[in-house]
A and B are shown apart, each in its own frame.
Chain A
């Protein structure tokens, strides 16, 4: 057994989430399938942060929901802390869900406007029976508010009295109330202004340090992801195209999609921008997941694509320690044959 600090908390194996596309007059005929997540595997170690990045429709949010068992899983396994939770009953899922909490993108839409902050944050304590008689419900909530940097005397106010950044703190306090091991953050800062965004990022980092939390960090902002994550999985149309430790991914991106994504981000530095110029290689937009391209889903937009790419789907191949890429350019078997 390894050091428990670095034991695997979350193990996702071959996860598939397929949505049926209904059509016909009464919407009862199945006219297709959307493969929102199509065979994704990764491991997340305790105390670490894994970033899930990609453009809209890549399946990053659906992956998060599937782990929480909030959408139906079509295939694959999800193992949390050694326990297979893929086939648990609804009731049992609710019990495991205490260990994994979610922080949402929209701090305005995710809080019930009719509830006081006290009850918004305290609700998970009640649901999961976590009220400590010695401390008391109210005192427990005030402690949580203090932990996320909110003034405890705001406990009796309603969500509309708070700014975006403060509401996101409330959302985080609510997630922490359940005393989770894993927090799934789905675009937690993308709705916030830059100056407030930094406050929340720092808070998430502090909480991880103090409470030993593990984060699955879903985001599209690659600069934020680099700042907060230990390793990153890049997704494209439901599949993982590259998984790597942070510095590997940013310093030596291997998948053409990762490379294009990184070069598309304008840097807040006019000098660097002048040197770099514009990489016009990535044309077009993400195709519809209803009818994804054959072979490698990225091949119609890829400047390196050749005949094999439209015929055969590349497998995730290890190219360095902890670095996996799904691209025929990096598959030794293919490269050998090509000579």
Chain B
């Protein structure tokens, strides 16, 4: 893996060599929301793999469908108005879309855990941290007996580096700072040793110095346990530091996919190029004028024909209005969905 950055673990700390079948395979996923006669196609035919032990980032702006993709995997789409209308999601040899409600509940939190953006609204304010931490362990019968469960909770808090874990078990969420709450959320996600963690903007609500600590912790823990992670974010800096591979999404579709180095060194989709040009960068000389992407993201109740990016694209040709481009392979690991051969170099 070329993009593993600053790996701090020695080879024997790592999990056993990864099997060749991906842990998660998403194929042709389509999720819609119906409201008042309108159908919003939030995710429109998305396919990707998550391999064992890798961190895959899904990057996009608001409305790109990155969170809906994650919620679809866990079948957490509120229905109505939402519905997964097409596609296949295979996780560890099981077809998640054909599981019963009871079976998918056993997958959630146990095999696939989720970390949300706002820890305060995902924690129950009237239960102690200890109670909330013990719940997944009890539900999924990962440990039996009060003493063992307590032991496991303390161990988890220690893993996420919460000081004085024994006392903290009795604390309520409001007694924790934002960073500590997110640590507690991570402890809960780890409670059942999931194979996959889905982290949806896990640090967006945190200050930058705390963000760095939380992301380092996540990287460290996923590496140590060989856990795969889907990291959903709008922050390209976070992606560059923490992702092995990247899916760039726009208006419900994946427009480019590659390793972190491919996407940042050699972006090939006009949208990815536009994102890079829009951002002021700390490691480049100041003062250069930014080059924004013109226009606004589309209304997905009435998406543009053909390539959904074409109305904002400065490279668009006639074909882009008529036909949606498929994802095509450019190089090993590098894919893009665009009719035009764009050279990013100015």
Contact = CB atoms under 8 A, between A and B. Distances in A.
A266 B207 contact: no
A268 B178 contact: no
Contacts of A220: 207-208
Interface string B168-184: 00000000011110000
Nearest to B215: A266
Most buried by B among A56, A193, A197, A250: A193
Contacts of A70: none
A202 B279 CA distance: 11
Nearest to A200: B292
B291 interface: yes
Nearest to B220: A278
B213 interface: yes
Contacts of A163: 296-297
A83 interface: no
Interface in B276-299: 276-283, 286-287, 289-294, 296-297
A286 B213 CA distance: 13
A198 B211 CA distance: 23
A62 to B, nearest CB: 16
B61 interface: yes
A105 B260 CA distance: 31
A132 interface: no
B210 interface: yes
Interface residues of A, number: 46
Given A55-B209, A223-B281, A199 B6 contact: no
A71 interface: no
Given A268-B240, A271-B261, A195 B209 contact: no
Contacts of A227: 280, 286-287, 290
Interface stretch (B41-49, B138-146, B229-237): B229-237
Contacts of A226: 280, 282, 286
Contact of B234 (A56, A193, A199): A193
B202 to A, nearest CB: 13
Interface stretch (A10-18, A173-181, A257-265): A257-265
Contacts, number: 138
A208 to B, nearest CB: 13
B62 interface: yes
A199 to B, nearest CB: 4
Give the contact-size bracket for chain B: 35 or more
B238 interface: yes
Nearest to B62: A193
A27 interface: no
Contacts of A92: none
Contact of B5 (A222, A250, A274): A274
A269 B243 CA distance: 12
A67 B275 CA distance: 35
A272 interface: yes
A201 interface: yes
Interface string A242-286: 000011001000000000111011111111111001101011011
Contacts of B27: none
Interface in A209-244: 220, 222-224, 226-228
Contacts of B279: 194, 198, 223, 268
Contacts of A7: none
A278 B62 CA distance: 29
A310 interface: no
A21 interface: no
Nearest to B287: A227
A264 B211 contact: yes
B241 interface: yes
B282 A274 contact: no
Contact of B207 (A202, A224, A286): A286
Interface of B: 3, 5-6, 61-62, 177-180, 207-213, 215-216, 234-242, 260-261, 264-265, 274-283, 286-287, 289-294, 296-297
**What 5 A-B pairs are tightest by C-beta distance, nearest first?**
A198-B292, A266-B237, A227-B280, A193-B61, A198-B278
